[in-house]
Structure 1
Amino acid sequence: MTDAKPLPALTPIGDNPTLIWGMTNAERLRRLARAEGLPDTPGASGARLYVNLAYVFDPVWLRHVVALPGTVVMDGDALVMAHLVGGMTPDDIAANRSTLSIIDYQGNPQIYNRQLRKLDCPFIQPLTRETRRAIERKSYFGAYKGVTDALTKYLWPELALWLTRGAASIGMTPNMVTAIGAALCIYATWLFAQGQYWEGMLAGFIFMVLDTVDGKLARCTITSSKWGNVADHGVDLIHPPFWWYFWGVGLGAWGLALPDQTFLLVMIAVVAGYVLQRVIEGLFIKDFGMDIHVWRRFDSQFRLITARRNPNFAILFFATLAGRPDIGLIAVAWWTVISLVVHAVQLVQAYAERRAGRPIVSWMEEA
């Protein structure tokens, strides 16, 4: 937000006793407003954000409307929210439609969510006791990244939804879930070092699911925090190379220890490849202002299988199922090198496009 567009003061309309994710709609709205830094009282511009408590909506709607004074969101004939200035109230909307930007949810408007890397029509729905669980489901899946790995996207969303609901119902915070997951992550590392791969993969699987749960719980209950994000992403960033290293150490317990030179080459590939991929992703964000995986459709599709923790974990699982965890680790090394080459080519192509004077824009924004 800028000084030219002062933040509107939140002004709820009506009341709604139905709970969602263990809180009232009014409390959910207050948390959303607080997260966006909205004031309690209007400034000199008189800007207000009127919100109908009969409705629940994806948080992206609030962020979208807050940035656009004079924007009104309707569900057919019903007002959902309106960013009004100059003393205008919802009663004045009908007489001033020509000067306002009216968005009708029933027209399926598309909004690009940079945080979650997806273009879609975020949900808006009346909140009642009958619709509550369906809305919780929509808000949960609405918090999913559109571009992520195949396991996170397709394998465990339903399990993570069940766990997220359970955590919210007993008052667990996202940081509690992150802490439990971090403990399991460390335990899995120790099990890998002992060659106890099945037990380690079970602990690792639960950790990976909880790694989804903490983020979804934070977004659904509007309890994201700076340090929570640091802890969550810090664990995600640091642990994968340790998993692969101690997986290699544990091969000795299976009588499949890699020769020293092979082990060294494999570790160079998986560790250096992982670090360099992350560096390339960081360079792309720094130089082009967006994630490398949302540039072109191919880039988003490749993210499903690129050599990150979850796809690598799947490779190791199937290799161990075949009784060859050693070949699995070598396969992870090769796949990491291949993925690194793909990322490097993506970065070079982006620089070439920019030198040619062509803008680097996400295919989702162009869709």
Structure 2
Amino acid sequence: MNPSNGQTIMTALGPVRLLGENATRIWGMSNAERCRRMAESSAKNGSALADGHELLFNLAYAFDPMLLRLALEEPGTVFAWGAAPIVGQVPAGSDPLGAAHVVDLSDGRKLYNRQLRKLEQPFVRELTPATRRDIERQSYFGAYKGVTDLLTKYLWPELALWLTRLAASIGMTPNMVTAIGATLCVAATWFFAQGLYWTGMLAGFVFMVLDTVDGKLARCTITSSKWGNVADHGVDLIHPPFWWYFWGVGLSAWGLALSARDFALVMAAVIAGYVLQRVIEGMFIKDFGMDIHVWQRFDSRFRLITARRNPNMVILFVALLAGRPDIGLIALAWWTIISLAVHAVRLVQAYGAKRAGRPVVSWMEAGA
């Protein structure tokens, strides 16, 4: 294959040169379609090509979409695997291997992915029928956040991978998955209010898995949308306090209702703690340009268990096994207060470091 040749197509981003041909499908689509979707998605997200430049894709390979974002940030950048150009932004019609900045990823270097909060070697694989499933697996796990809770990181992945493949194979969109999940989320809330905790746990469990699937399906099939993201993140942001409140309401069905005073204190801790933690996270992003959970290794490790929905559900699950859902709710409230205190201290420490002239950067970015 002559790297200076290839088919050129027009996209919202601009001209895109496709090198070679490839009949092997990935996530239910051709590699040419996958590359086209990546270009269109980049345009929707505000990226643009430099004047006189074109985007380059090598259809013989599948690669981490992060490489496209990096190539679009710096004109003249080409990511290669040995002597094979993979993706880049180059002057129109030029030889990609003669670009100003050719990065050979075959040396095993790691790059920091700000979007997914992780430091890793981006995947690049030759796409063939024999490698397709492995590539789908790599692209799926490549779409996983490196810093998240312990259930999402360790328990969901294999089940969510199977469901993501199933959804892609039958043509489901991420918005369809989000809609099913949102319905189960509402159902879980109702079950909790009736004291039907095990049924609510089951509905909540499926919703929590689908909450992983819709995002992975969107990233793997390059079908994310503005309103899909709003719906997904909106449900994620709003529903947890309702779950905890109606869990408390359902205690009366077990004869374990908290007194009015205790219920008010528990709800104040749970709801105020949840809101204030979100405020702290927002302040950290605003003032330091990154998520609080990626500042230092401690923060990334604490994110595994901090008082967010999934770790809180573990607390309630254990309490339910012991037949004491009331104690579970009280423990959840205390864990929320402790987590809030940890985040508040970390925010103060970050401001202190900034005033002292020390850089506040992610430990993953510093190690890239």
The bucket for the TM-score relative to the shorter chain is over 0.9
Question: Which SS does the other structure have where 2:323 is aligned?
Answer: coil
Give distance in 1, aligned partners of 2:92 and 2:41: 25
> 1:100 deviation in Å?
2.6
Give distance in 1, aligned partners of 2:65 and 2:38: 7
> 1:77 deviation in Å?
2.3
Letter of the 1:26 counterpart: A
Judge conservation of contact 2:49–2:72 (CA < 8 Å) in 1.
Answer: no
Structure 1 residue corresponding to 2:83, chosen from 77, 80, 89: 77
Identify the residue that residue 64 of structure 2 maps to in structure 1.
Answer: 58
> 1:8 deviation in Å?
6.5
Identify the residue that residue 259 of structure 1 maps to in structure 2.
Answer: 259
Give distance in 1, aligned partners of 2:49 and 2:326: 65
| 1:282 counterpart = 2:288 | no
Identify the residue that residue 225 of structure 1 maps to in structure 2.
Answer: 225
Q: Deviation per CA, 1:173-219, whole angstroms, max 9, x where unpaired?
A: 00000000000000000000010100000000000000000000000
Q: Deviation per CA, 1:28-76, whole angstroms, max 9, x where unpaired?
A: 00000011129xxx98842122211000101001111122222222212
Give distance in 1, aligned partners of 2:76 and 2:336: 49
Identify the residue that residue 195 of structure 1 maps to in structure 2.
Answer: 195
Give distance in 1, aligned partners of 2:56 and 2:213: 31
Judge conservation of contact 2:266–2:333 (CA < 8 Å) in 1.
Answer: yes
CA, structure 1 residues 79+252, in 2 after alignment: closer, same or farther (shift >3 Å)?
same
Identify the residue that residue 341 of structure 2 maps to in structure 1.
Answer: 341
Identify the residue that residue 272 of structure 1 maps to in structure 2.
Answer: 272
Summarize the alignment of residues 115-126 of structure 1 with structure 2, pairs less than 5 Å apart.
115-126=115-126
Judge conservation of contact 1:8–1:83 (CA < 8 Å) in 2.
Answer: no
Identify the residue that residue 297 of structure 1 maps to in structure 2.
Answer: 297
Identify the residue that residue 28 of structure 2 maps to in structure 1.
Answer: 22
> 1:242 deviation in Å?
0.4
> 1:15 deviation in Å?
1.1
Give distance in 2, aligned partners of 1:136 and 1:87: 31
> 1:336 deviation in Å?
0.1
Question: Which SS does the other structure have where 1:36 is aligned?
Answer: helix
Judge conservation of contact 1:51–1:82 (CA < 8 Å) in 2.
Answer: yes
Q: Deviation per CA, 1:298-348, whole angstroms, max 9, x where unpaired?
A: 001000000000000000000000111100000000000000000100111
TM-score when normalising by structure 1 = 0.93
Letter of the 2:101 counterpart: S
Which piece of structure 1 moves more, 100-109 or 141-150?
100-109
Give distance in 1, aligned partners of 2:204 and 2:313: 9
Summarize the alignment of residues 4-153 of structure 1 with structure 2, pairs less than 5 Å apart.
9-37=15-43, 45-85=51-91, 87-90=93-96, 93=97, 96=98, 100-153=100-153
Alignment gaps of 5+ in structure 2: 1-12
Which piece of structure 1 moves more, 73-82 or 112-121?
73-82
> 1:254 deviation in Å?
0.7
Identify the residue that residue 358 of structure 1 maps to in structure 2.
Answer: 358
Question: Which SS does the other structure have where 1:49 is aligned?
Answer: strand
> 1:78 deviation in Å?
2.0
Give distance in 2, aligned partners of 1:112 and 1:131: 25
Identify the residue that residue 173 of structure 2 maps to in structure 1.
Answer: 173
Letter of the 1:322 counterpart: A
Root-mean-square deviation (CA), in Å? 1.5
Give distance in 2, aligned partners of 1:364 and 1:82: 24
Give distance in 2, aligned partners of 1:308 and 1:43: 39
Letter of the 1:21 counterpart: W
Identify the residue that residue 3 of structure 1 maps to in structure 2.
Answer: none
> 1:231 deviation in Å?
0.2
Letter of the 2:316 counterpart: L
Judge conservation of contact 2:67–2:87 (CA < 8 Å) in 1.
Answer: no
- Deviation >3 Å, runs of 4+: 42-45
Judge conservation of contact 2:280–2:343 (CA < 8 Å) in 1.
Answer: yes
